[in-house]
Amino acid sequence: MWDALKTYYAIHSKTSEYTYEWNSPVFLFSNENISQYLDPAMMRGARVLSVCGSGDHVFESLLAGAAAVDTFDINYLQKYVLELKTKMIRGLSYENFMDFFYDYSSPFNQKILGPVMPELTRGARVFARYAFTKRVRPSLSIFGIRPSYLQDKVKYAMLKNILPKEFKFSQIDVRQLPQILDRRYRVILLSNIMRISTLAGFDAYYRQVLKPLAQAAVTDQGQIYFNYLFSESIQDQGNVIKKNYIDPLLKLDPQHTIEFRECTPSNTPFAGFPLLGGDVAVMMKVNQKTY
């Protein structure tokens, strides 16, 4: 009951699409090329911690072989995007799922949700009823690259079989994560929180987020994916990477190394100019043995 009231309040409270708070507008789909940048050898059998967002990092992790995925997000409402999409994939056909999100003549048709409604928690029902007209990010939430399970029906079918009924979710700022985690993960996915964070630049993010997380919650040789650079900025990307990641490498503790994983561009229609190269996911590898 409390969850349903809190959800109703969150959806109807004042906010802006430029904020990242407990009640901000939600992301429905990722604009990152996640399936390409994850390292399958590391994902197989891994326990993963992921920012929740649209749920796409969670779904792609499972498709890449992760054994289990726990989630967190500063935005309380993102947990309902994950719940709703999980239950839709488990209970609806690929065609119905696509119609719900991508039929622009009749978007978010509630009738399609009929079969999954009885499966939803009360909060998720409130979310499904009101959020699509009131609390969805208008821009990058639907367009962007389509995740692998939407590009390929076989993957959608695979996901249907491997998706658990529910996921562990903590509503928390990434900076507080080390205080609540009581286990280690082989892979942590932070999407591009760093870019929208109020922490100024890589140095502060390394000291306040990456290093404490690595110490508290990553297994030996584990990985933290902590930024995603879109190809729109490729002209400048060489400089950005050098300034933000290569130069500060010298200041990193010796057990941490940075790796870049290239993927094809996310190709958002919002770029407005020809794409010039690939996207890059930036990852920190943790060698616990040298601690």
Ligand X SMILES: C[S@@+](CC[C@H](N)C(=O)[O-])C[C@H]1O[C@@H](n2cnc3c(N)ncnc32)[C@H](O)[C@@H]1O
266 binds ligand X (CB under 6 A): no
**Residue of 10, 43, 64, 74 interacting with ligand X (CB under 6 A):** 74
Comparison of 72 and 97: residue with beta carbon closer to ligand X:
72
196 binds ligand X (CB under 6 A): yes
71 binds ligand X (CB under 6 A): no
Q: Which of 106, 115, 61, 66 is nearest to 88 (CA)?
A: 115
**Residue of 174, 188, 189, 280 interacting with ligand X (CB under 6 A):** 174
148 binds ligand X (CB under 6 A): no
Closest CB 270 distance from ligand X, rounded Å: 13
Residue 47 β-bridge partners:
68
189 binds ligand X (CB under 6 A): no
Tell how strand 279-286 and strand 256-263 pair up. Answer: antiparallel
Q: Using the rule CB under 6 A, give the single segment among 89-97, 146-154, 191-199, 278-286 that binds ligand X.
A: 191-199
Comparison of 117 and 143: residue with beta carbon closer to ligand X:
143
**Residue of 197, 223, 227, 231 interacting with ligand X (CB under 6 A):** 197
Q: Are 27 and 140 in contact (CB under 8 A)?
A: yes
- Give the 3-state secondary structure of residue 30: coil
In the window 82-101, what residues touch ligand X (CB under 6 A)? none
Tell how strand 256-263 and strand 218-229 pair up. Answer: unpaired
Stated as kind and residue range, the H or E segment containing 221 is strand 218-229
50 binds ligand X (CB under 6 A): no
Q: Which of 82, 107, 90 is nearest to 27 (CA)?
A: 82
Q: Cα–Cα distances in Å, from 34 out to 148, 189, 199, 224?
A: 8, 10, 24, 14
Tell how strand 47-51 and strand 68-73 pair up. Answer: parallel
Cα–Cα distance, 109 to 94 (Å, whole number): 15
- DSSP letter for each residue of 43-80: HTT-EEEEE-TTSHHHHHHHHTT-SEEEEEES-TTHHH
22 binds ligand X (CB under 6 A): no
Binding mask 200-239 for ligand X (x = CB under 6 A): ----------------------------------------
Closest CB 133 distance from ligand X, rounded Å: 19
User: Who's near 111: CB < 8 A, 6+ residues apart?
Assistant: none
Q: Using the rule CB under 6 A, give the single segment among 120-128, 187-195, 268-276, 283-291 that binds ligand X.
A: 187-195
Comparison of 46 and 136: residue with beta carbon closer to ligand X:
136
Q: What angle do CA 38, 56, 149 make, to 5 degrees?
A: 85
**Residue of 30, 35, 148, 237 interacting with ligand X (CB under 6 A):** 30
173 binds ligand X (CB under 6 A): yes
> Which residue's CB atom is positioned nearest to ligand X?
30
Residues of the shown chain interacting with ligand X in the complex, contacts defined by CB under 6 A: 20, 27, 30-32, 51, 53-54, 73-75, 78, 173-174, 191-193, 196-197
